[in-house]
Amino acid sequence: PASFAQALIWHNESFHLTPHLSQVPVYNMPFVYSLHSHHTLSVQHLRHALHLIVTKHESLRTSVIFHTHTNRLMQQIIDMNDNNRQLFTFIESTYATHEQLNYILHEERHNPQLFDLSQGLAFRCHIIYYKQISSDDLLSDKDLLIFNFHHALFDFPSMNIFLHDLNQAYITSHLSNNDDITLRYLDYAVIEQQMSMTGASMFWLDALHDCKLDQSLSLPFDRYRLSNEYRSSRGTSISFDFGQDLSHHFLTYVSSNSISPEHLTFAIYFIFLFKLTHGQTDLCLAMNINNNRYRDELKSIIGLFENVIPLRCQLDSHLSFHQLLEHIREITINSMKYSYFPLQRILNQHPHISKYAFLNTSLEFISYKSNNAIMIGDSQIISAPFPFNMNEDERLSASDFSLSICHDMNINHLSCTINVSLDLFNRETAENISQRFHSILHQLSASIIDSQINKPIYELSLTLSNEQYLMQSLNNTQVSFSSALTCIHHEFVYQVMKHPQKLAVELDEQSLTYCELLYYVQVLSLALLNEYHVFPGEVVCQCVERSLSMVIGMMGIEMAGGVYCPLSPRDPLHRLHALTQQTQSRLVLVHDLTKIKFNYGTVLLNIDSILTNTKTDILICMDPLSNITVIPDNIAYIIFTSGSTGIPKPKLYNNNKKKLISK
């Protein structure tokens, strides 16, 4: 049988991508190398060495086929003695320009026809000569060497095994292989199927109890995918280094507190998602396990030893960063104990769920020591950057939103890559998200330096410095009026008299002059006085979308002598009800889009119906408005706080624009 990891790869490749569009293979794994200056490599010896490797590592000549009659995915080793079967692909080509080279590299990464798993063709070697194929059968430093593998039979740690054996086979023309004692990848797959996993099954049932695995996180999507819409797997990536200072602060902190860098980065990611989703506290992500060789016998086998497991964090926003880090450490260690439990079995524990949305948000931590001196015989090969030139929007995205943190142990340096699906995000949004993540990093680093690590995580902010400056500018609304003893609606009328034909309010394609705005404000004010009997100092709430009616309602309440209290249509119903109760407001101004927000016990006034009433075309009598007594010290409007620390608190402002009291 195929392994569970292979089954997941095969299922994704068969059903994940859009069948009627040009498919983008996610599972090509090309490794590009060039020779060190003045070094050479014998193509004949290389080809023979590769044949020895494929002979020893049977996974590189294994077919993967779905048997419909048994409804199982099976793997079968191709017989080395079958002379009619090709065991791997070996091709040679040339390039003269960067454009030609980029095309070849693009094909190696994206061409879906390079591998044929049904025939066991899971490995290819592509030699790219500069300008012409060598006549002396030698590779030089301007040529490129590509080893390309299908991910169903190869993972990244397998490359170290491959390069080690390639060097040995090239030098000695021999590879030791004791079939009697060597564990094969096929044997691992059989053992995996037979393992008793009762303990792991119980752990995952308990860990995911009541978890909404089918609900996506409330990320800042630019668009949404329909339920019957396929993923294109087109994505974009934003990468950046932490920098020397950030890396030093974080790694010094984890070292002094005996914490893994992996747990640190996971905690930072959960904090970031908590802020990015506007306070979601039950966060479940897909954690990629890139090297699941959990026994020593597996560490010399080429194959696919990967898994995806859920990592669930039920976050308390009042925890400090250090407390959350300890919590993340505990849940990660517990989850990793049972990381061998196949993802498909975890999903099968929840048969009522048809779409596992948690898989769309993922994270991984990669720690590595780069080895620049890779030897094949006496020649050194150097890992080349791949690809040399790739459009930012051609990158592949296996999930909708993912974070990958890399720890380069040679220089003790951290770096980050954020991958997003272009089905859901614009490139500009991804860049904005990256800036906000960088901002969180700096805030956490500063709290470590300033010994404020016990500050609750809800106090962290995603607001960027330029946005903070803009908000300060917008909030600086102080205006010099002609008299300090003037009410807001008096100043408005003064502006009408001064500039009757100037635009007072503009929204999209709509606008009102000061004179037009005054007319509608007076119509509404008279309705409030004559029909709803609003008296001076009475609180009148308004819940409308952004519109001209919003400004008319605001000034209409002020002109009628009422106290203006804005309500947000984005607030949940229980909050709107609580705020109207707290202000003891008996009347709420609404329009067609927001009137459904309130129950039948609330008196509603539809602003639009008042303004479009034909009866308002007659001459307006101003006497009721002239008889209203309002002085500058009277309360003009009430603004509620967000309520993030408990019950929303009202802030009262008088007509002098001064805050009187916070209750």
List the structure tokens of 344.
């498909």
Higher pLDDT, residue 164 or 487? 164
Average pLDDT over residues 43-68: 94
Report whether pLDDT(335) > 90.
yes
Which pLDDT score is estimated for 311? 96
Which pLDDT score is estimated for 235? 87
Cβ neighbours of residue 524 under 8 Å, at least 6 residues apart?
552, 553, 556, 560, 607, 610, 611
Average pLDDT over residues 129-150: 94
Which pLDDT score is estimated for 206? 97
Report whether pLDDT(557) > 80.
yes
Average pLDDT over residues 107-130: 93
Which pLDDT score is estimated for 20? 39
Report whether pLDDT(644) > 90.
no
Which pLDDT score is estimated for 387? 45
Which pLDDT score is estimated for 389? 38
Give the predicted TM-score (pTM) of the model.
Answer: 0.69
Average pLDDT over residues 499-522: 91
> Please, what is the average pLDDT of the chain?
87
State how far the alpha carbon of 272 is from the alpha carbons of 209, 276, 437, in Å.
24, 6, 7
Higher pLDDT, residue 371 or 15? 371
The string of pLDDT tens digits covering residues 233-260 is 788 999 999 999 999 999 999 999 999 9
Report whether pLDDT(629) > 90.
no
State how far the alpha carbon of 656 is from the alpha carbons of 473, 478, 631, 633, in Å.
20, 11, 9, 7
Average pLDDT over residues 85-91: 92
Q: State phi, psi for 32 to the nearest 5 degrees.
A: -105, 130
Q: State phi, psi for 3 to the nearest 5 degrees.
A: -75, 165
The string of pLDDT tens digits covering residues 376-409 is 999 999 987 654 434 444 445 568 999 999 999 8
Which pLDDT score is estimated for 195? 86
The string of pLDDT tens digits covering residues 154-210 is 999 999 999 999 999 999 999 987 665 578 999 999 998 888 899 999 999 999 999
Task: Extract long-range pairs of 425-433: CB within 8 Å, 24+ residues apart.
Answer: 425/221, 425/222, 425/236, 425/401, 426/222, 427/236, 427/392, 427/393, 429/220, 429/222, 430/236, 430/237, 430/238, 431/238, 433/220, 433/238, 433/276
The highest-confidence range among 366-375, 428-437, 495-504, by mean pLDDT, is: 428-437
Structural domains in the chain plus CATH codes: 1-196 (3.30.559.10), 238-293+304-369+390-476 (3.30.559.30), 477-662 (3.40.50.980)
Which pLDDT score is estimated for 403? 94
Which pLDDT score is estimated for 230? 67
292 falls in which pLDDT band (50, 70, 90)?
Answer: confident
